[in-house]
Amino acid sequence: MPAKIVVQDLTKTFASDTGALRVLDGISFTVDEGEVVAIVGPSGCGKSTLLNIVAGFERPDEGLVQFDGATMTRPTSRGILISQHGSVFPWLTVQQNLMFGLNGHAMHDKESLADRYAAMVGLNGFEASYPHELSGGMLKRAELARALVVKPDVLYMDEPFAALDALMNLRMRNELLRILAKERHTILMVTHDVEEATYIADRILVLSPRPTRIQTSFEVSLRHPRQLTSPEVQELRAAILRQLGVDSFSD
Amino acid sequence: MGQTQVARAAAREAGTIQLISMPRLKQVLPSVAVIAVLLGVWWSVVVATSSVIFPTPWQVVNGIGELMRDGTLWQHIAASLFRVGTGFALAALIAIPLGLWMGWTRGAFTTLNPLIQMLRPISPIAWIPIAILWFGVGNVSPIYLIFISSVFPMVVQTIAGVHTIERRYLWAAANFGVSRYTLFRRVVIPAVLPQIIVGMRIGLGVAWLVVVAAEMIALRSGLGYLIIDSRNAGNRYDLVIAGMVMIGLIGLMLDGFMRLLERLKAVRWRYAR
């Protein structure tokens, strides 16, 4: 099976006051269809830049990104970005937000599709609400539903649940796993939360500090739902943290 | 048991009534008090200096009554509102599309912005001779002056609105691959709408502000004309101040109307947080 996403030798340099700042320094990896890949790295290492390039929003200086074998030059609706701070349109209701990306459907079909996906993420009864009337967790659900309703192959997630409180963060992880069990998507997520990565991902790539390269890769073959307290997960977590230069004192 | 329930309901009702009226009263009371104090100072200064030409507040009230009785007050108000309304509507009609275009298209901005920034600081009073030359002494000249004074604040606000649309929203729109039409109708215009409303509030405020200057060249009507004419025809300073009071009161009402726009569902997000 050919890889869904191929990333080859990406480099990116930003101009800064003190001269050129090299952010990405030759990054290559692939993501297979249906795979959940998490990229973890220290803050400021260029995780978001990497994801923005892979999703087609920014251009690399060198290297290329292939999506289904074709070179990415701009974003497509087959891969939706869930941004860190959320991008649910505040001037549209939940239903209007969900219908936003649905082109070429009849109005009635759009509405019923939107309502079905709102119900799927637990937002039934809030279709007519405006985003400022929703809590942070509900906003994330709306954003997730808006992405899923266009039936993308890939979800790009940038620190998807970082802005939520700890309890809602846990809930949304389970929600995501529940949805993944129902509709098999390919997911590429970046996060600084090692626990989140070990809970969700099939494979974890660890980035080095700037200029960023891929330092290590961990295959996670544990089945869902994973027990975060189990020895295997704890061992994995400690190994990733060691890669990030943090010693774990959990045992 | 039943009695306590009734008593509780009554107490709750009293509480509700208080909730509605008390804060409002508390809000209005200080500003009314300040105005009352100023009126008192004005009155006592006029009496103390026994001025023959400067009127007391009561003489102004009588002046307003006189204008109301002979019906000229309503004619002046209607004439002024018509000119401001027309000038402002024309300005909005041009400023909002122009601002959207200039905000969105880099070339349009770099080409037109210097011109707009040059025209913007020119006082509408400086335009009076040219307005007379072009349009003569009639309704068109004051409408032109009102137009020229309110068009620039609205252009500038609309441009700023487009420039400050957050990137994440434009990216989301690009991600879903919507048409240019949908992008504008569903993302750009709603995102800028709160700023457009701010621009319209400023624009209407400025339009009403220059009504006196604009009506210096008006023919026999308008609150500005009333003020100039009352001074020229016999130093009727009670009517001068009556005109000023009416301009102030109507200005307050106009701003109140514009503020109603901020309650639109589609722009509440901007003010709710």
ipTM of the complex: 0.89
pLDDT number for residue A228 = 81
pLDDT number for residue A249 = 57
Tell me the per-residue pLDDT of B164-217, one tens digit each, with 9 for 90 and over. 999 999 999 999 988 889 999 999 999 999 999 999 999 999 999 998 888 877
Judging contacts by C-beta atoms under 8 Å, the chain B residues touching residue A132 are 268-269, 272-273
* Nearest CB partner across the interface for A77, out of B176, B187, B269: B176
pLDDT > 90: percent of chain B: 61
Judging contacts by C-beta atoms under 8 Å, the chain B residues touching residue A131 are 269
By the CB < 8 Å criterion, does A100 face chain B? yes
Q: Could you say which residues from 178 to 237 on chain B have a Cβ atom under 8 Å away from some Cβ of chain A? A: 178-179, 186-187, 190-191, 193
Residue spans per domain, chain A? 5-78+155-250, 88-151
pLDDT number for residue B15 = 47
Judging contacts by C-beta atoms under 8 Å, the chain A residues touching residue B179 are 103
Mean pLDDT of B6-10: 51
Binned at pLDDT 50, 70 and 90, residue B157 comes out as: very high
Q: How far is B135 from chain A (nearest CA, A)?
A: 43
By the CB < 8 Å criterion, does A107 face chain B? no
Judging contacts by C-beta atoms under 8 Å, the chain A residues touching residue B190 are 89, 91-92
Judging contacts by C-beta atoms under 8 Å, the chain A residues touching residue B193 are 91
By the CB < 8 Å criterion, does A73 face chain B? no
Burial per residue of B182-208, b for 16 or more beta-carbon CB atoms within 10 angstroms, e otherwise: ebeebbbbbbbbbbbbbbbbbbbbbbb
Q: How far is A233 from chain B (nearest CA, A)?
A: 35
Scanning the structure block, which residue is given the tokens 């995501």?
A176
pLDDT number for residue B1 = 41
pLDDT number for residue A245 = 82
pLDDT number for residue B201 = 93
Mean pLDDT of B28-42: 92
Where does residue A51 rank: exposed (0-12), middle (13-18), buried (19+ CB within 10 A)?
A: buried
Where does residue B28 rank: exposed (0-12), middle (13-18), buried (19+ CB within 10 A)?
A: exposed
Q: A40 vs B6, which has greater pLDDT?
A: A40
pLDDT number for residue B74 = 92
Mean pLDDT of B151-163: 95
Beta bridge partners of B31: none
By the CB < 8 Å criterion, does A130 face chain B? yes
What span, in angstroms and rounded, lies between the C-alpha atoms of A129 and A134? 7
Entry field: residues in chain B: 273
Q: Which of A91, A102, A105 to mutate to test the interface with B (most CBs of B within 10 A)?
A: A91
The yes-or-no verdict on residue B106 having pLDDT over 70 is yes
| Among chain B residues, CA nearest to A146 | B176
Cβ–Cβ < 8 Å for A70, A222:
no
By the CB < 8 Å criterion, does A97 face chain B? no
Cβ–Cβ < 8 Å for B211, B83:
yes
By the CB < 8 Å criterion, does A131 face chain B? yes
Burial per residue of A102-135, b for 16 or more beta-carbon CB atoms within 10 angstroms, e otherwise: beeeeeeebbebbbebbebbebeebbeebbeebe
Lowest mean pLDDT among A129-133, A212-216, B3-7, B258-262: B3-7
For residue A204, what is the enclosing H or E element?
strand A203-207
Angle (CA) A202-A172-A156 rounded to 5° is 55
Binned at pLDDT 50, 70 and 90, residue B5 comes out as: low
pLDDT number for residue B105 = 94
Q: Would you state the torsion angle of the CA atoms of residues B210, B213, B216, B220, taken in this order, to the nearest 10 degrees?
A: 20
Q: Which of A51, A52, A87 to mutate to test the interface with B (most CBs of B within 10 A)?
A: A87
Q: A13 vs B235, which has greater pLDDT?
A: A13
pTM higher than the cut 0.95: no
Q: How far is B167 from chain A (nearest CA, A)?
A: 9
By the CB < 8 Å criterion, does B263 face chain A? no
pLDDT number for residue B18 = 47
Dihedral of alpha carbons B176, A94, A37, A32, sign: negative
Mean pLDDT of B120-149: 91
Judging contacts by C-beta atoms under 8 Å, the chain A residues touching residue B169 are 87, 89
| Alpha-helical segments (H) within chain B | 2-49, 57-69, 72-104, 106-119, 128-135, 140-163, 167-175, 180-182, 189-209, 211-214, 223-232, 237-261, 268-272
* Nearest CB partner across the interface for A87, out of B169, B178, B269: B169
The answer to whether the Cβ–Cβ distance between A132 and B175 falls below 8 Å is no
pLDDT number for residue B17 = 47
Three-state SS string over A153-201 comes to: CEEEEECCCCCCCHHHHHHHHHHHHHHHHHCCCEEEEEECCHHHHHHHC
Residue contacts between A and B (CB atoms, under 8 Å): 63
What span, in angstroms and rounded, lies between the C-alpha atoms of A141 and B208? 47
* Nearest CB partner across the interface for B191, out of A55, A80, A91: A91
CATH 3.30.160.270 fits A5-78+155-250, yes or no: no
pLDDT number for residue B159 = 96
pLDDT number for residue A12 = 92
By the CB < 8 Å criterion, does A77 face chain B? yes
By the CB < 8 Å criterion, does B269 face chain A? yes
Query: Could you list the pLDDT tens digit for every one of the 251 residues in chain A?
Result: 678 999 999 999 988 888 888 889 999 999 999 999 999 988 778 889 999 999 999 999 999 999 998 999 899 999 999 988 889 999 999 999 999 988 877 888 888 889 998 988 889 899 999 999 998 889 999 999 999 999 999 999 998 888 788 888 888 888 888 888 888 899 999 998 888 898 989 999 999 888 888 888 888 888 877 888 888 888 888 888 888 888 755 54
Cβ–Cβ < 8 Å for A39, A193:
no
Judging contacts by C-beta atoms under 8 Å, the chain B residues touching residue A77 are 175-177
By the CB < 8 Å criterion, does B265 face chain A? yes
